[in-house]
Structure 1
Amino acid sequence: MDKIKVITDSLSDIPKDIAVKYDISVMPLTVRFGTKEYKDGIDLTTEEFYKKLEEVEEMPKTSQVTPVEFKGAILEAFDKGYDSVIIINGSGQVSGTHQSAVIAKEEINRESIYVFDSTALAYGCGMIVVEAAKMAHDFRPLGEILEKIEKMIDGSQQIFSVDTLKYLHKNGRLSTGKMALGTLLNVKPILAIIEGKVEPIDKVRGNKKLYKRLIEVCKEKGLQKGAKIGLGHAANREGLSTLRSLIEEEISPSEIIETEVGCTIGTHTGSGVLAIYFIAE
């Protein structure tokens, strides 16, 4: 039986207890507010990130995990007796982290290293990582795990709501006029990850319509009754609780994992975000 190590980056928003349980190594991106740098999830918690985001005018920047850091993690896994290493990264369209992992693999030059661009973000990527790690934990054959990863990447869905238009405006996705009008009308955009990028797909007015529309969009994209789902929030536990109750009533998921939306999505959206993650069959 192959001993398989699963590695990802902090774009995946995997809860720490789950990462520990399934022996997942999470490589932190660097978050930069002005001249000060933080390791995502290590030096800066999600709660601290959103607090800082409210306080600053200049948008924070994120820096990718470096090839040297990936090389260190891969070689450490082999030194500990792992036969193969699987790396699943957040979308290569958003971060250069995936390319860093590819470079590290090429430099080490061993056939038993497998690198995937999930084309997903947040726990949309995390779900793929966790399912792969569960299979590795159960000593499933390597080929079966690799095939499953490819299928999950194809089916991964991530749907987000945005509570404030301020950050879409700051990031150049919304004009000043549209932001002002949207704020006046209490417009709530709905975003999805499409071909690895954050894209607007719909909008509603007010929270009451928002929860219903989020679930409708997910069903349109293949969410089935009894599915495993992830629910994410950005400093919005009250909204998460409401959304969870509605989903439990309408979808009856077989599993719900709650997670916090991290800095990569949060930089685009600000706090208040709600997210639904699932893998369409």
Structure 2
Amino acid sequence: MDIKLICDTLCDIPDEIQKKEYLEIVPLTLIMGGNEYKDGVDIDKETFYKSVLETGEVPKTSQATYMQFKEIFEKYIADGKKIICINGASSKSGTYQSALLAKNDVDGDINVFDTEQLSLGAGQFVIRACDMIEEGMDLENIIKKLEEIKDSAKILFAPASFDFLKKSGRVPMTTAVIGNMLNIKPIFYMEKGEIGLETKVRGVKKLVAKLVDLVIERFGTELNEVTLTIGHGCNLEDFEKLKREVEAKLEGKVKKIMTTKGGVCICSHTGPDIIAVSFSK
């Protein structure tokens, strides 16, 4: 295989995708408790969830660097590979820019791709790229198809409470307090680089139903073309409810259903108790 696929840890992907031999993952840095950790190298998701819940600290993240990408690009170009580098949204992190700068300083066939997404949303592009590589599609057509996927790729995510969004400045304090008191569950979206409030429901039962219904409403008769990823953090009980809802309404109707855990980068802002769905056609 002459294609090397590279992504960063802004892309949350299932374990079976992470294990692909032609994929390499470039870690961002987590800053927590005065220490720095390479995401997925020095700290795993479960350790991160536990630490954040115990301390209530909102960690910070630092972009992957120019040198990280340059060294990886040079390594695989020397091996005769053509490179596709898939990155989290350039509007939310300088990681894409680091990769682009490194590309410009390395001679070879290197394609740096801005997903305009984060977390499971960015992971959609990695999953789809793997599918295309394994189908034997050539590099030019993979890049073309990835661009087309931007029109349908989206993540919907719902933190269990407003607490971490409040601490990280994502929602006003009054909104957070009222939301927690009334058991209001916000559903946020990210689409083409923009994060916003999709809708609000009351209670977990209505939340999981709404997440699935939003997918059905968006694609209608085209559900059979949809790749769906469902994700969670430390809140396994809520995730099991979402999983059952997905199985009841979408199993056998969509092209593929995969599961993963919310990563360090997204959960640093939303908190570790989160459920999410992402999809693309």
1:7-18 matched pairs, under 5 angstroms = 7-18=6-17
Matching residue of 1:93: 91
> What is the root-mean-square deviation of aligned Cα atoms in Å?
1.8
Report if the CA contact (8 A) 1:135-1:145 is conserved.
Answer: yes
Matching residue of 1:59: 58
* Distance of aligned partners of 1:187 and 1:81 in 2 relative to their CA distance in 1, 3 Å threshold: same
Asked if residue 42 in structure 1 is aligned to residue 70 in structure 2, the reply is no
Matching residue of 2:266: 265
2:138 to 137, 141, 144: 141
* Distance of aligned partners of 1:43 and 1:197 in 2 relative to their CA distance in 1, 3 Å threshold: farther
Q: Write the deviation string for residues 151-177 of structure 1: whole angstroms up to 9, x where unpaired.
A: 112221111111011011112233332
Matching residue of 1:132: 129
Q: Whole-Å Cα distance in 1 between the matches of residues 223 and 48 of structure 2?
A: 34
Deviation for aligned residue 1:22:
4.9
- TM-score calculated relative to the size of structure 1: 0.92
* Distance of aligned partners of 1:17 and 1:247 in 2 relative to their CA distance in 1, 3 Å threshold: closer
Q: Write the deviation string for residues 84-138 of structure 1: whole angstroms up to 9, x where unpaired.
A: 111110111111100000000111143x111110001112211211221332234
Deviation for aligned residue 1:179:
1.9
Counterpart residue identity of residue 61, structure 1? K
Please identify, of 133-142 and 122-131, the stretch whose mean Cα deviation from structure 2 is larger. 133-142
Matching residue of 1:104: 102
Q: Whole-Å Cα distance in 2 between the matches of residues 141 and 148 of structure 1?
A: 11
- TM-score calculated relative to the size of structure 2: 0.92
Q: Write the deviation string for residues 207-259 of structure 1: whole angstroms up to 9, x where unpaired.
A: 11111111222233336433321010011222222212212221223321110
1:164 to 157, 161, 164: 161
Q: Whole-Å Cα distance in 1 between the matches of residues 134 and 206 of structure 2?
A: 41
Deviation for aligned residue 1:56:
3.0
Matching residue of 1:28: 27
Please identify, of 187-196 and 240-249, the stretch whose mean Cα deviation from structure 2 is larger. 240-249
1:231-246 matched pairs, under 5 angstroms = 231-246=230-245
The percentage of aligned residue pairs carrying the same residue is 35
Matching residue of 1:277: 278
Q: Whole-Å Cα distance in 2 between the matches of residues 101 and 174 of structure 1?
A: 31
Asked if residue 183 in structure 1 is aligned to residue 194 in structure 2, the reply is no
Q: Whole-Å Cα distance in 2 between the matches of residues 109 and 30 of structure 1?
A: 27
- Structure 1 regions of 5+ residues with no counterpart? none
Deviation for aligned residue 1:52:
1.5
Q: Whole-Å Cα distance in 1 between the matches of residues 242 and 125 of structure 2?
A: 22
Residue correspondences, number: 277
* Distance of aligned partners of 1:22 and 1:193 in 2 relative to their CA distance in 1, 3 Å threshold: farther
Report if the CA contact (8 A) 2:189-2:197 is conserved.
Answer: yes
